[in-house]
Chain A
Amino acid sequence: MESYVGKNIPRNDGYDKATGRGKFTHDIFLPHMLYAKVLRSPYAHAKVTSIDTSEAEKLKGVRAVCTFENTTNKLFNTSASVVTTNPGAEPVRDQTVFTGEPKYIGDEIAAVAADTEKIAEEAVKLIKVEYEELPYVLDPLEALKDDAPDVQPELAHKKNICGEVIEINFGDVKEGFEEAEEVVEAFVKLPRVKQAQMETHAAVASYKGDGTLEVYSTTQTPHPTKMIIAYTFDLPESKVHVKNPPYVGGGFGVRIGISGKAEIIATALTLKAKRPVKYVYTREEDFIASDTRHGGYLKGRLGAKKDGTFVALDTTAWLNTGAYATFGVELLGVCGACGTAGTYHVPNLHYSGYPVYTNQQTAGAFRGFGTPQGTFIVETLVDAMAKKLGMDPIELRKMNTMREEDKNWFPFSVGSVGINECLDRAAEEIGWKEKRGKCKEGKIRRGVGIACGTHVSNAAPFCVDYNAVTLRIEQDGSMVVQSGIPEIGPGSTTALLQVTADEMGIDFDKITMQYGDTKAGPFDIGSHATRTLYTVSQVIDKAAKKLKADIFDYTAELMKMEREGMKLEGGVITSGEKSISIKALAYEAHLRGKQFIVSECLVPPNSLPWYAQAAEVEVDMETGMVKVLKVAAAHDVGKVVNPRLAEGQIEGGVIQGVGYACREEMTYVDNKGFYNNGFHKYMLPTADDVPEIVPILVESNDPKGIYGIKGIGEVGVCPTAPAIVSAVEDATGIRFYEIPMTPGRVLKAIKEKEKA
Chain B
Amino acid sequence: MSEILKCIINDEEIEALVDPDMRLVDFLRERMQLTGTKIGCKKGECGACTIIMDGKAVNSCMVPVMRASGSVIQTIEGVEKNGRLHIIQEEFINKGAIQCGFCTPGMIMSSKALLDKNPSPTSDEVKEALGGNICRCTGYRKIEEAVLSAAKRLREEV
CB of A651 closer than 8 Å to a CB of B: yes
Q: How far is the CA of A678 from the CA of B98 in the complex (A)?
A: 24
CB of A1 closer than 8 Å to a CB of B: no
Contact (A20, B35) CB under 8 Å given A283-B42, A686-B134, A687-B133? yes
CB of B141 closer than 8 Å to a CB of A: yes
- On chain B, the residues within 8 Å of A199 by CB distance are 38, 40, 100, 102
CB of A337 closer than 8 Å to a CB of B: no
CB of A672 closer than 8 Å to a CB of B: no
Can you name the residue of chain B whose Cβ is closest to the Cβ of A17?
B101
- On chain B, the residues within 8 Å of A10 by CB distance are 93-94
Q: How far is the CA of A678 from the CA of B96 in the complex (A)?
A: 28
CB of A138 closer than 8 Å to a CB of B: no
A645 lies within 8 A of B96 (CB): yes
Q: How far is the CA of A645 from the CA of B41 in the complex (A)?
A: 27
B141 lies within 8 A of A18 (CB): no
Contact (A651, B139) CB under 8 Å given A198-B102, A249-B100? yes
- On chain A, the residues within 8 Å of B92 by CB distance are 14, 18
Q: Mark B137-149, 1 if CB is under 8 A from A, else 0.
A: 1111111100000
- On chain B, the residues within 8 Å of A14 by CB distance are 92-93, 98
Q: How far is the CA of A253 from the CA of B90 in the complex (A)?
A: 29
Contact (A16, B136) CB under 8 Å given A11-B93, A688-B131, A693-B141? no
CB of A23 closer than 8 Å to a CB of B: yes
A22 lies within 8 A of B101 (CB): yes
- On chain A, the residues within 8 Å of B39 by CB distance are 26
Contact (A198, B80) CB under 8 Å given A678-B45, A690-B140? no
Partner of A19, one of B41, B42, B77, B141: B77
Partner-contacting stretch, out of A155-163, A484-492, A556-564, A703-711: A484-492
B100 lies within 8 A of A198 (CB): yes
Can you name the residue of chain B whose Cβ is closest to the Cβ of A248?
B100
CB of B63 closer than 8 Å to a CB of A: no
B89 lies within 8 A of A198 (CB): no
Q: How far is the CA of A199 from the CA of B153 in the complex (A)?
A: 31
Q: How far is the CA of A489 from the CA of B43 in the complex (A)?
A: 24
Partner of A679, one of B34, B46, B104, B142: B46
Q: How far is the CA of A251 from the CA of B102 in the complex (A)?
A: 11
Q: Give the secondary structure class of B's interface.
A: loop
- On chain B, the residues within 8 Å of A489 by CB distance are 99-101, 137
B48 lies within 8 A of A198 (CB): yes
A19 lies within 8 A of B79 (CB): yes
A17 lies within 8 A of B98 (CB): yes
- On chain B, the residues within 8 Å of A24 by CB distance are 38, 101-102
Q: How far is the CA of A197 from the CA of B41 in the complex (A)?
A: 11
Contact (A249, B36) CB under 8 Å given A18-B85, A652-B137? no
Q: How far is the CA of A48 from the CA of B85 in the complex (A)?
A: 56
B98 lies within 8 A of A20 (CB): no
Q: How far is the CA of A18 from the CA of B143 in the complex (A)?
A: 12
Can you name the residue of chain A whose Cβ is closest to the Cβ of B21?
A118
A651 lies within 8 A of B141 (CB): yes
CB of B127 closer than 8 Å to a CB of A: yes
Can you name the residue of chain A whose Cβ is closest to the Cβ of B79?
A19
Q: How far is the CA of A200 from the CA of B95 in the complex (A)?
A: 26
B99 lies within 8 A of A491 (CB): yes
Q: How far is the CA of A572 from the CA of B78 in the complex (A)?
A: 41
Q: How far is the CA of A23 from the CA of B126 in the complex (A)?
A: 28
CB of A106 closer than 8 Å to a CB of B: no
Please indicate which of the listed interface residues B96, B98, B100, B133 has the most CB atoms of chain A within 10 Å of its own CB. Answer: B100
Total interface residues on A, CB under 8 Å, equals 56
CB of B113 closer than 8 Å to a CB of A: no
Contact (A490, B99) CB under 8 Å given A19-B85, A648-B142? yes
CB of B115 closer than 8 Å to a CB of A: no
- On chain A, the residues within 8 Å of B35 by CB distance are 20, 23, 26-27
Within 8 A of B (CB), among A1-39: 8, 10-11, 13-24, 26-27, 29
CB of A336 closer than 8 Å to a CB of B: no
Q: How far is the CA of A532 from the CA of B49 in the complex (A)?
A: 30
CB of A282 closer than 8 Å to a CB of B: yes
Can you name the residue of chain A whose Cβ is closest to the Cβ of B45?
A679
Min C-beta distance of A515 to chain B, whole Å: 14
A655 lies within 8 A of B139 (CB): yes
CB of B135 closer than 8 Å to a CB of A: yes
Can you name the residue of chain B whose Cβ is closest to the Cβ of A286?
B41
Q: How far is the CA of A633 from the CA of B14 in the complex (A)?
A: 50
CB of A647 closer than 8 Å to a CB of B: yes
Contact (A198, B134) CB under 8 Å given A18-B104, A283-B41? yes
Min C-beta distance of A624 to chain B, whole Å: 23
Min C-beta distance of A28 to chain B, whole Å: 9
A19 lies within 8 A of B76 (CB): yes
Contact (A20, B136) CB under 8 Å given A247-B101, A679-B41? no
CB of A644 closer than 8 Å to a CB of B: yes
Partner of A687, one of B90, B99, B131: B131
Q: How far is the CA of A648 from the CA of B143 in the complex (A)?
A: 10
- On chain A, the residues within 8 Å of B108 by CB distance are 18
Within 8 A of B (CB), among A673-690: 678-680, 684-688, 690
Q: How far is the CA of A20 from the CA of B29 in the complex (A)?
A: 11
Q: Mark B90-122, 1 if CB is under 8 A from A, else 0.
A: 101111101111111100100000000000000
Q: How far is the CA of A212 from the CA of B143 in the complex (A)?
A: 42
CB of A342 closer than 8 Å to a CB of B: no
CB of A332 closer than 8 Å to a CB of B: no
Q: How far is the CA of A490 from the CA of B99 in the complex (A)?
A: 6
Min C-beta distance of A429 to chain B, whole Å: 15
CB of A186 closer than 8 Å to a CB of B: no
B138 lies within 8 A of A197 (CB): no
Q: How far is the CA of A13 from the CA of B76 in the complex (A)?
A: 16
A686 lies within 8 A of B131 (CB): yes
Partner of A198, one of B33, B95, B136: B136
Q: A283-B41, A686-B140 provided; 4 other pairs, C-beta below 8 A?
A: A18-B89, A20-B75, A29-B33, A688-B127
The 5 closest A-B pairs by CB, nearest first: A20-B36, A17-B101, A249-B102, A489-B100, A14-B93
> What is the interface of chain B, defined by CB distance below 8 A to chain A?
29-30, 33-43, 45-46, 48, 75-77, 79-80, 85, 89-90, 92-96, 98-105, 108, 126-128, 130-131, 133-144
5 contacts between A and B (CB under 8 A): A20-B76, A644-B96, A678-B41, A687-B144, A690-B127
